Structure 1
Amino acid sequence: MKVIPLTCALGAEIQGVHLAEAGRNADMAGEVKALLLKHKVLFARDQDMTDAEHAAFARIFGDLESHPLAPSTDSEPGIINIWKTPDSPPERYENAWHHDATWRELPPMGAVLRCLECPPVGGDTMWANMELAYERLPDHIKETIEGLKARHSMEATFMAAKSAKERLAMKARFPDPEHPVVRTHPETGNKSLLTGGFMTHFTNYHTARNVRFGQDWQPGASALLSYLISQTFIPEYQMRWRWSPGSIAIWDNRCTQHYAVMDYPPCVRRMNRATIKGDRPI
C-alpha cells in the first residue's frame, strides 16, 4: 500500500490496493481505519466494486444507515444513489459546506462515496479540516464559543421546498437537534468546529456574558454564526478531488466538512454512497 498526502491540511490517496479486500481482511481494515484518523479523508482510484463490496468495506467503520430522501439501491439497502441528470430537480443541497446529516441526533461517523459516472470536467468535491479551523481561531473567539450550542435543521434545508404538510411531518420525524459548536473527536480527543449548512442558530448565546441589552442578541449571534461558518471558506484548510469512474472517497464526518461543486449541468453525475452511523457529538 502506498499513501500519498494530497495537501498540507488533509487528504491522502491510497495506491496499490483493492479496498474491497479490507471488507474481508481485518489487518488491512485496521490499517485503513488508522490512515483515516490521520488524514481525515482518503481516496483511491480504479476500484472495481459491486454495491455489496462497497457496503462490506464501509461496514469496517460501523453499521450503515439510510437517508429519508435519497433512494437506496435495489440490491443493497446500505447504499444510496446520489445521481444527477439534466432532468434533476433544480434544488441544490450538496453545494454548501456541511457535515453530513447534522440534523440527526446522532450524525454519521463518516461515509464512503463511489463514482459510477462523472462529467469529463467538473463535478469535483472539496473537503475542509475543521480541527485546523478550530485550532487557528483567535483565542478570544475560542473563549466565546466554549460551551456554546446550536440547532441543526432538516426542515430549513432539505424540506424548505416541500409542502407544509410534508415539511412538518419530516420535522416530527427528525426534530431539530442541539449540538455543541466545538466537538471533541471520540477517538483522537481533538477539538473541531461543528458548524455547516444545517446549523440555524445558537441556543444558549443569550446570556449576560454576551448580551448587555436584548437588542445585542440578534446582531451579535448572527455575526458570530456567519464568522464560524466562513472558516470552511479558507483555502489553507481545504482540498479538492477530481473524480473519475471507479474512484472512491472515505471521510471522517466528525472532523471534516465537504462541498460538492455544482459546475457541471447538463452533464450526468452518478455516485453511490454508504453512510456510517455515528454517535452523539460532545
Structure 2
Amino acid sequence: MAPSRVDDDKSEAPKTSYDINVPYHALSEEYEKRIKGRTEFPEYLPVWEEGLWHDDFPVFEFHDPALRADKKKPNLFQGGVAAVPITPRMGTVLTGVKLETLSKEAKDELALLICERKIVVLRDQLEFLKTGPQFQVEFMEHYGKLSQQPVTGAVKGFPQFHIIHRDGNEEEIEHFFKHKMTTTIWHHDVSYERQPPGYIMLGILACPDVGGDTVVADMSMAYQRLSPVYQQMLDQLRAIHTSENLIAHAKRAKGVVRADPIDTNHPVVRVHPVTGERSIFLNMEWIKEIIGLKDLEAESVTRFLMDQVRMGHDFQARVRWEKHSVVMFDGRTTLRQFLVASVDEPS
C-alpha cells in the first residue's frame, strides 16, 4: 500500500463544499476528550489513519441475495415482527427484528424487501449497534463487496465505514452558507465507482429529538412519469460519473486522500436485477458529462430530471430518525438527501 497523500497546493478550496457532516481532518484532542465522555459509542468517532491507499476495485461478479429469497419472507416475518408502510408505494418500518440474530435466509428476504420497498427502517437496533464494527462488516458482506471512502473519516481499522459526524463547528456552517442556499443535495452514494453499492446501511448512534430527517426519492417512479419519447431518449444515454471534485476539495483542504480520482461510464437508465424496474441513475453531485450531448444539452437534461425529483413529493418518502435505528436503502433505485437538524448543537 502506498502512503496516504496530502497535497501541497496552497490555492483556495473550491466553492463546492463537502464540509457539512463530512470533516476532512482528525478531531482536536480537546474535542475528542469532551465528546468521548458524552457519546455512547466512542469507538465510532471518525479517524484518518495514515498509510492507507485504496486501489480501484476490479469488476466482480455479483449475485444478488434477493434472488435467493422466499417471496413470502417466512424467516424475516416471525416472532412478532410488524411492518408499517411509510407511503403506499415505498418505505417500510419494521419493529421486532433483531438484525444480529438473522439467519442467511432472513437476510436474503430482507434484501428482497429492500428491493421491493426501496427503504426499510429497523427500529430499536441497540444490540446490533453494540456488536461492533467487525460483526457489522461481516453482516453487510452478505449483501456484496463493501465500498471504501476515499477521503472521509472511518472507524479505526475499518475503512468500509463512512462516518457522518456533526461537531457543532459554527465556522464550518458559516463557510458553507457563504456559497450555498441550503444544505440539501440529492445524491447517490459513490456513483463514480465501477459497481456502485446496491444495498446501503445507515445506523444512527445519536441524534436530536427532531430534525435531521432523510428524504428518499423513487427513481423508478421518476422514470415511469416521463413520456415514452423522453424515456426512449434517456434509454440511449450514458453519463460519466467522477470523484474529481471530491478528491480536489480534500487535497485543497489539506485532508487525507486515500485514492486517485476515478471516472466511470454508467447508463442514465438502469434495469434492476431483481425487480426489472427501469430507473434514472443521474444526480447533480458526481456527473461530469452525458456522452454525446453538448454541455448545455446535458445541463438541461440533468436539471429537468432533478427538478422532477425535487417536485415529486408523491414519489418521495421521509425517514424520521430515532436513536438506535438502522435504515437500509436500495442504492440502485433511490436518490436521497439529508436535512441538517440544527446549526448550533453537535450530534
Tell me: CA distance 1:139–1:249, structure 2 relative to 1, closer, same or farther (3 Å): same
Q: Deviation at 1:175?
A: 2.2
- Is 1:267 the counterpart of 2:337 in the alignment? no
Partner of 2:160: 78
Provide structure 1 residue ranges, at least 5 long, that are not aligned to the other structure: 206-216, 270-282
Question: Larger strand proportion, structure 1 or 2?
Answer: 1
1:117 and 2:206 equivalent? yes
Q: Matches of 2:188 and 2:243 in 1, distance apart? A: 13
Change (3 A) 1:70 1:157: closer
Please name the residue that 1:237 is paired with.
Answer: 315
1:225 aligns with 2:302: yes
Q: Percent identity?
A: 28
Q: Which residue type is aligned with residue 83 of structure 1? A: H
* Residues 42-97 of structure 1: per-residue CA shift (max 9 Å, x gap): 00111012233433332221232221112221264433321111128445998311
> Which ranges of 4 or more aligned residues in structure 1 deviate by more than 6 Å?
164-167
Give the TM-score taking structure 1 as reference length.
0.81
- Residue aligning to 1:17: 97
Cα 1:150–1:248 change in 2 (3 A) is same
Structure with higher RCO (Cα < 8 A, 6+ apart): 1
Question: CA separation of 1:266/1:9 partners in 2, compared to 1, >3 Å: closer, same or farther?
Answer: farther
The answer to whether the 8 Å contact 2:198/2:332 transfers is yes
The code of the aligned residue for 1:231 comes to Q
| 1:228–1:32 Cα change, 3 Å | same
Q: Distance in 2 between matches of 1:223 and 1:265?
A: 33
8 Å contact kept, 1:121–1:264: no
Q: Alpha-carbon deviation of 1:164?
A: 10
Which of 282, 286, 293 is the aligned partner of 1:198? Answer: 286
Aligned residues of 1:9 and 1:132 also touching (Cα < 8 A)? no
Tell me if the contact between 1:9 and 1:236 (Cα under 8 Å) persists in the aligned partners: no
Write the letter of the residue equivalent to 1:56.
E
Give the deviation of 1:158 after TM superposition: 5.9
Deviation (angstroms), 1:161: 6.5
Rounded Cα–Cα distance in structure 1 between residues aligned with 2:250 and 2:152: 16
Equivalent residues, number: 254
Q: Secondary structure at the match of 1:79?
A: coil
Equivalents in 1 of 2:160, 2:263: separation in Å? 24
Contact kept in structure 2, 1:21 and 1:28, CA below 8 Å = no
Which structure is larger by alpha-carbon Rg, 1 or 2? Answer: 2
Question: What's the RMSD between the two structures over aligned residues?
Answer: 2.6
Which residue is equivalent to 2:144?
62
Can you give the 5+ residue segments of structure 2 that lack an aligned partner in the other structure? 1-80
Q: Which residue of 2 aligns with 1:100?
A: 189
Query: How far apart in 2 are the matches of 1:258 and 1:226?
Result: 16
Q: Distance in 1 between matches of 2:115 and 2:299?
A: 33
Which stretch of structure 1 is more off in the superposition, 47-56 or 241-250?
47-56
Is 2:112 the counterpart of 1:34? yes
TM-score by structure 2 length? Answer: 0.67
Q: Deviations over 1:230-254 (max 9, x none)?
A: 2321101111111111001000101
- Within 2, Cα distance between the matches of 1:81 and 1:146? 35
